[in-house]
Amino acid sequence: MSGKNSIKKEQAPCPYAKKCGGCQLMNMTYPEQLSWKTARCIKLLGRFCHVEDIIGMQNPAHYRNKVQAAYQFTRSGKVVSGVYQSGTHNVVNVNSCLTEDIKADEITVYIRSLLPRFRILPYNEDTKAGFLRHVLVRRGFSSGEIMVVLVGANPCFPMKNRLCDALVERFPEITTVVFNINPHKTSMVLGERSETLYGKGFIEDTLCGCAFRISPASFYQINPVQTGILYNTAISFAGLNKNSTVIDAYCGTGTIGIAAAKYAGSVTGVELNPDAVRDAVFNAKRNKTDNIAFVKADAGEYMLEAAKQGEKADIVFMDPPRAGSDKKFLSSLVSLAPEKIVYISCNPETLARDLAYLTKNGYKVKKIQPIDMFPFTSHCEVIALIMRNFSSK
């Protein structure tokens, strides 16, 4: 099942690799990377069940549909833009990154070249002088729509409309430009306040036949080719039917739940971030999905309450952040006793920890499928199908 495209070391030299350090597996060919990731998953998860070979990409280059470039002056006064050198806040000047969308990189480089003309200075985190901190570009893979977010350190941006016009003229694919203000001393890219300079303030994309709205701050998987495979695999593991009662825990903007709803009886999405919940409600309406509802809550609290009320769920999708789930969630999940759990994990270490809990408490792991969402890096996405062990109940 592995991707056949084999980028060889000598074919894919990244000129920034040494300075940047962001791609831990850059010194391996792509097939070597895939074998490394499958072996890591077997090591961490093989004691629970057979681990399938990782599903790789046909063409693993330039997969990131979300690019965040930081802007900085060098000591010699030159403006640079790109990624932070691993573990530092020194910007590596990047023109085209092997993992990033080519058009998105072109836009960040063009903005770098425009700064003198518009008398915009990059922001200095130490002296707090200057203005431009980051440019965030998101691109809808199937829609082709592009969003550009200009992140400034303060609200005073006199040239904003002229810069916006210059961008749209050069890149007509840009459908929206947003000005975001981030005055804080923080490593977060975006601040709370935004002003739309052009277009709708968000873009749309299509995944698994459903349309999704992507706002500047909302979570959206960054590898669109593999995300389709990820969601379809998760939905096929669930084996849904029109009587299934489903919970989509840690649902973000509702993507998995909405894609699954057409095969299920009813779905409840649970998510902590209020902006994501707002987008999820919008997305459900946009897709005319009327058998899904969303709850803004801590997933653990929600499950605890659901277990107390004696609610029923046949299938639980869970897609927690890298830290994995928590005891509150897992113990309530066991009390709720769904027949199937489909665990979508971006960290096989915390997945192993959570599987150890579930298998001690009446569940059995039936399938484990790694999917390569992040070529060239050591990160790995894994889907596990976990079923209630009827013989132990």
Binding positions for ligand SAH, rule: CB under 6 A:
219, 221, 250-252, 255-256, 270-273, 276, 298-299, 319, 321
Which residue has the closest beta carbon to ligand SAH?
Answer: 252
CB 201, CB 194: distance < 8 Å: yes
Give me the least distance between CB of 321 and ligand SAH, in Å please: 5
Nearer to ligand SAH, 71 or 220 (CB): 220
Joined tokens for residue 374:
């992040």
Residue 392: DSSP 8-state: G
Nearer to ligand SAH, 53 or 298 (CB): 298
Using CB atoms within 10 A of its CB, is residue 58 exposed (0-12), middle (13-18) or buried (19+)? exposed
Give me the least distance between CB of 199 and ligand SAH, in Å please: 23
CB 336, CB 306: distance < 8 Å: yes
Cβ atoms within 10 Å, residue 61: 16
Give the E-state strand segments of 49-192 in sequence order. Answer: 66-73, 79-84, 91-93, 132-139, 146-152, 174-181
Give me the least distance between CB of 177 and ligand SAH, in Å please: 24
Cβ atoms within 10 Å, residue 193: 11
Nearer to ligand SAH, 197 or 336 (CB): 336
Give me the least distance between CB of 118 and ligand SAH, in Å please: 35
- Give the containing element (helix H, strand E) for 166: helix 160-170
Nearer to ligand SAH, 94 or 260 (CB): 260
Three-class SS of residue 176? strand
List residues with catalytic annotation: 346
Nearer to ligand SAH, 131 or 294 (CB): 294
Using CB atoms within 10 A of its CB, is residue 392 exposed (0-12), middle (13-18) or buried (19+)? exposed
Give me the least distance between CB of 80 and ligand SAH, in Å please: 31
